[in-house]
Amino acid sequence: MLITYNSEKKLFHLHTSDTTYVIGIYDEGYLLGLYYGARVTDDDFSAFCCRLPNASFSPADPVIGEHGFSPDTAPIEYGCNGAGDFRISAFSVRGAAGDNVTDLRYRAHRIYAGKQSIPGIPSTYVSDDSEAQTLEIDAEDAVTGVQATLVYTVFADSPVMTKRVIVRNPTENTLYLERVFSACNDFPTMDFDLVTLYGRHAVERTMEKRPLAHGLQGVESKRGVSSHAQNPFAALMRHGATEDAGDVYGFNLVYSGNFSALAECDFNGSTRFIMGINPNDFEWTLGSGEAFYAPEVVCVYTDKGLGEMSRIFHRFYNRHLIRGKFKTEKRPLLINSWEAAYFDFDTDKLLAFADVAKELGIEMLVMDDGWFGKRNDDRSSLGDWIVNEEKLPGGLRPLVDGVHARGLKFGIWYEPEMISPDSDLFRAHPDWHVHVDGRAPKVGRHQYVLDVSRADVRDYIYSMIASVLQNNDIDYVKWDFNRNISDAGSALLPPERKKEFFHRFILGTYDLMGRLVEAFPDVLFEGCSGGGGRFDPAMLCLTPQIWTSDNTDPIERLTIQFGTSLCYPASAMGAHVSACDRTGYKTKGDVAMWGTFGYELDPRKLSEEDREIVRRQVAAYHKYYDLIRTGDLYRLISPFENRFRAAWQMVAADRSSTLFTLVTMRKEENGMCFVRLKGLDPDRMYACAEDGKTYSGAYLMRAGLNVSEVIRRDGESLTLYFSAE
């Protein structure tokens, strides 16, 4: 049994193969989070129930007694606002009386096999009920009558737990949800570093680590999307934990909108961590009989360091998050027109790209931005999804057929949730953009955001896109989103519901995207948002790969891909070789090989020498496809810690092969460098394809490889493939 309830001790144990989470029902129905960590089966956690009762003016529960218990110092499972717990609250509801004091107590629970989906919000899944167990705990606030169901799922094949919350209003009155976080974890200590991923356009997901301090710290997005600026990921690393050892708790919110991930360390030296929808610019009116579904948080615990946390996320996302045909089916190796032509292309030019691409072994041509309306630059036409016949005479057909006739697949670009002020769509529907009456909305990249919180807007965009996909044998869609949301408001929302906008917008995105993905199961969808501005697990439920960054410089890409790999698998990371001249094509290919792999250049301009390198890369793509997508990643030398070089390794799940890559960011004159590999079987012999030698796993992991040659040359890379004999 993964989940058990001990009715005598009133304890829930949620076990995975390696972890245990313990929840207790305390006196007066207080729900306490008593333990999260490596597997423990004991049933006495009373020592963790109360901490320093009456310390520092913490108010006591009147029934339990002055000296017994304070909600301020107990490990509250789902911290509420205003009822004696002064730490940051996960939940706050305003009732008919107007106050927002909220105090949840246990009422009932259920344990069942499997995992349910969340209405309207993407989430992780099981293919069979035997793969997981779920616990639902119903809690209630006696005064407002609001009910919160805390939902926990643990998985049989992964040391992973998901947490989420459903709020219901069984009363006659209207209730107002002010804060509904998805997860709340109280830890008895504060001896952690907080790891988060900050960034900006072209510099996504930079790893940042800071020691927790008393008070509040964390990251948020108020940009309407998960954003370049902060990713909805956070990890707590116990002091002293490293890439390879020590306690690490990783949290990733399966949501693409405004989020908060906050840690508060209180006067007791304990830590509360909460993650969920950002309560800024949020309020939800919950009518009588209605329910509100919060997105889920994926929680990973390991005592084997940050690297193992990442591998757990990767395996779990490949099994239980990414779905559809392209979860398992091989994805085509593509060439994208953006950096090759920007807006300057026509049918002939694209077919000329296809000719060379075919000759090089590339499998799909993607026509990026600029094929519709009058779009010759980024100032117009978003929303007018009608072919520009000046560029593509006769429409899409001659181009798509021409590409298919050359034996390539064909992909197309959309930015569905946007509208240009200079567009026929805007002229026809001047209230379809996101705006607040009386204010001129800010423009971003000369565009407004289309109000996809509206069903009529979604239906229109759906039919425009669906008719193109239906009538033209499209194999791939790149779904872009190139600005953040300001002036948030919808013409259809009444004043009292204006603060629902951001969440409704994301629900609208999920609905629109979900309908298209479902209607076109054979189309490969790739997410994008000015590079990786919407790289989150919810998007990965809909698009199995996401363009990681507009920065295709292979040296800059190292930090971006290392950061992204903290929780997202290689199978999800869009990575292309471009014409950027910082390094040669070999290094560019070795870096892009870590991700989905493709090209972003004018293939006609490649020299014969570079064409030969590309042909070798195409062969390598096929050879290493399974290893990279299903193997285990080991980050050997991190560019966040080493200014000179980065190295990583993919290891087959059965340890039968490994691909090692090292890139020199900055050369070291006369330097020596030995890199010890990881994750191999010490007792097996591994043959190296490149040097023809055979090494034991023990040698490779303990003595290591002498890579001194390659570290002496700026921008050089070394890739070695080892297979077990």
User: Rule CB under 6 A: which residues touch ligand DGJ?
Assistant: 338, 368-369, 413, 480, 482, 528, 530-531, 547, 550
Closest to ligand DGJ by CB, 434 or 528: 528
Closest to ligand DGJ by CB, 113 or 202: 202
Shortest Cβ 531–ligand DGJ spacing (Å): 5
Shortest Cβ 116–ligand DGJ spacing (Å): 35
Shortest Cβ 369–ligand DGJ spacing (Å): 3
Shortest Cβ 408–ligand DGJ spacing (Å): 19
Shortest Cβ 715–ligand DGJ spacing (Å): 23
Q: If DSSP codes are grouped into helix, strand and coil, which group holds residue 372?
A: strand
Question: How far apart are the C-alpha atoms of 175 and 93, rounded to whole Å?
Answer: 7
Closest to ligand DGJ by CB, 579 or 698: 579
* HEC assignment per residue over 100-148: CCCCEEEEEEEEEECCCCECCECCCCCCCHHHEEEEEEEEEECCCCCEE
Torsion 121-123-128-130 (CA) sign: negative
Shortest Cβ 461–ligand DGJ spacing (Å): 17
Q: Is-catalytic flag, 683?
A: no
Closest to ligand DGJ by CB, 249 or 410: 410
Residue 268 amino acid letter: N
Closest to ligand DGJ by CB, 402 or 531: 531
Q: What is the dihedral of CA 243, 248, 253, 258, to 10 degrees?
A: -80
Closest to ligand DGJ by CB, 312 or 412: 412
Closest to ligand DGJ by CB, 262 or 367: 367
Closest to ligand DGJ by CB, 284 or 479: 479
Q: Which two tokens stand for residue 18?
A: 């390696």
Closest to ligand DGJ by CB, 420 or 486: 420
Q: Do the beta carbons of residue 246 and residue 237 sit within 8 Å?
A: yes
**In the 8-state DSSP scheme, what is residue 47?**
G
Q: Which residues, 6 or more positions from 183, have their beta carbon under 8 angstroms from its beta carbon?
A: 90, 163, 164, 251, 273, 274, 275, 276, 297, 299
Q: Do the beta carbons of residue 547 and residue 574 sit within 8 Å?
A: yes
Question: How far apart are the C-alpha atoms of 268 and 206, rounded to whole Å?
Answer: 32
**SS3 breakdown of the chain: % helix, strand, coil, rounded to 5?**
25, 30, 45
Shortest Cβ 228–ligand DGJ spacing (Å): 11
Shortest Cβ 530–ligand DGJ spacing (Å): 5
Closest among 659, 658, 706 to 681, alpha carbons compared: 658
Residue bearing tokens 């089916």 = 329
Closest to ligand DGJ by CB, 369 or 610: 369
Catalytic residue among 85, 266, 550, 610: 550
Q: DSSP letter string over 387-420?
A: B-TTTSTT-HHHHHHHHHHTT-EEEEEE-TTEE-
Shortest Cβ 446–ligand DGJ spacing (Å): 11
State CA 386 to chain mean position distance: 32
Shortest Cβ 346–ligand DGJ spacing (Å): 17
Q: Is-catalytic flag, 247?
A: no
Q: Do the beta carbons of residue 116 and residue 226 sit within 8 Å?
A: no
Instruction: For residue 147, give Cα distances in angstroms to 29, 74, 539.
Output: 14, 21, 29
Q: DSSP letter string over 296-329?
A: PEEEEEESBHHHHHHHHHHHHHHHHT--SGGGTS
Q: Do the beta carbons of residue 73 and residue 84 sit within 8 Å?
A: no
Q: What is the dihedral of CA 257, 227, 229, 477, to 10 degrees?
A: 170
Closest to ligand DGJ by CB, 266 or 480: 480
Count CB atoms within 10 A of the CB of residue 142.
11
Beta strand ranges found along 542-583 (DSSP E)? 545-547, 573-574, 577-578
Closest to ligand DGJ by CB, 377 or 641: 377
Count CB atoms within 10 A of the CB of residue 622.
12
Question: How far apart are the C-alpha atoms of 617 and 421, rounded to whole Å?
Answer: 43
Shortest Cβ 379–ligand DGJ spacing (Å): 12
Shortest Cβ 534–ligand DGJ spacing (Å): 10
Question: How far apart are the C-alpha atoms of 605 and 679, rounded to whole Å?
Answer: 41
Closest among 664, 594, 672, 666 to 634, alpha carbons compared: 594
Orientation of helix 455-472 relative to helix 501-519, angle to 10°? 20
Question: How far apart are the C-alpha atoms of 605 and 599, rounded to whole Å?
Answer: 13
Catalytic residue among 72, 480, 536, 602: 480
Q: Which residues, 6 or more positions from 125, have their beta carbon under 8 angstroms from its beta carbon?
A: 115, 117, 320, 321, 323
Question: How far apart are the C-alpha atoms of 82 and 101, rounded to whole Å?
Answer: 5
Closest to ligand DGJ by CB, 324 or 530: 530
Nearest to ligand DGJ by Cβ — which residue? 369
Shortest Cβ 547–ligand DGJ spacing (Å): 5
Q: Do the beta carbons of residue 541 and residue 321 sit within 8 Å?
A: yes
- Surface-to-core class of residue 702, CB atoms within 10 Å of its CB (0-12 exposed, 13-18 middle, 19+ buried): exposed
Q: DSSP letter string over 52-67?
A: STTGGGPPPPTTT-TT
Q: Specify the pairing of strand 476-479 against strand 160-168.
A: unpaired
Q: Which residues are catalytic?
A: 480, 550
